Amino acid sequence: KKKKAAKESAAILFWKEKTGLSKDDLMQVMKHFEAIAKDDKIDREGFQSGLKILGYEKASADRLFALADSTKDGIIDFREFMLFLSSLRSSDPEQQIELAFHICDKERKGKLSRADVRRVLEDALEGDEEGDEEMSKQKVDAFLHEQFDVLDENKDNQISMEEFKKAVKADPKLLALFGAGLVDESVVLSKRWTLLRELFQLIDRDGNGTADKKELLRFLQTVYASKSEEEIEAEVSAFLAEGRAAEGLSLADWIAYFDKTEGAEGDGEFEAKLDSWISSVVAEHV
């Protein structure tokens, strides 16, 4: 009995740390799982019941079941359920973006087609009280027409994980849209990405959504007063090499550049540097 109790306590501590649930909430989830499980596994109906217990009543159960069922056997064991819950409750922005992508990528292709995006948008607009079904269809068609090609950088008619991440970091609202109501845009409003967006808006003086060579030169000359013209020109070239458009750098490209050069996680030192750059650019604007 003591060994069993110790084993159960260790499991509770492990899943408590992984999911961020309180001990009481975790015990409730474990008891509910045991109550509805057959041979220690749950089916789609049981999974949907588990989502409701956790407060995810509006979530697309079918889409999430496919994501949680890692073995693709049509049933979910306790470990699969808890690992899914861990990813759902993660506070890591990168993991939340990946989760939103996987929610959309129901068939696990690693790419999002126009059909995938349409299905997600239709789910998001289902029950929209502001308009009828025809209006919702028009919204979906408009998004696909205006935004899909923007997200699809290499024009292969699909959106990769990398393309998706770049787009979401530039426009956090996409996370709420593609996250099936499970992922909030606030998770990508980290200080790092917020500062990068703010700095880009200051650099993009004409407000056309692109930082061109002239604007980048002016920015670097402001923050790197001690560097030579040759060094600044080289850095501008490095920036522009990241861009997909000859005329300059988009916000998504700008963030991707620093994710590569500074690391996706970043640190306090880099954030302090961004704060300093923003102050310098603001002072130069005055």
Give me the tens of pLDDT residue by residue for the chain, a chain 286 residues long: 555 555 567 777 877 777 777 788 788 778 888 888 888 898 888 888 877 777 666 556 777 788 788 888 889 998 888 888 777 777 677 878 888 888 888 778 889 998 888 887 777 666 454 555 554 677 788 888 778 888 888 889 999 999 998 888 888 778 777 776 566 566 566 677 888 889 999 999 988 888 999 999 999 999 888 889 899 999 888 888 876 656 788 888 888 888 887 765 556 788 888 889 899 888 876 5
**Residues facing 41 on adjacent strands:** 38, 77
Name the percent of the chain in helix, strand, coil, to the closest 5. 65, 5, 30
Enter the pTM of the model: 0.67
Beta strand spans in the chain (E): 41-42, 76-77, 111-112, 159-160, 210-211, 249-250
Local structure of 108: helix, strand or coil: coil
Q: Are 204 and 193 in contact (CB under 8 A)?
A: no
Instruction: Annotate 70-93 with b (16+ C-beta within 10 A) or e (fewer).
Output: eeeeebbbbebbbbbbbbbebeeb
Local structure of 172: helix, strand or coil: coil
Residue linked to tokens 């060579």: 213
Q: Are 53 and 31 in contact (CB under 8 A)?
A: no
Q: Are 175 and 187 in contact (CB under 8 A)?
A: yes
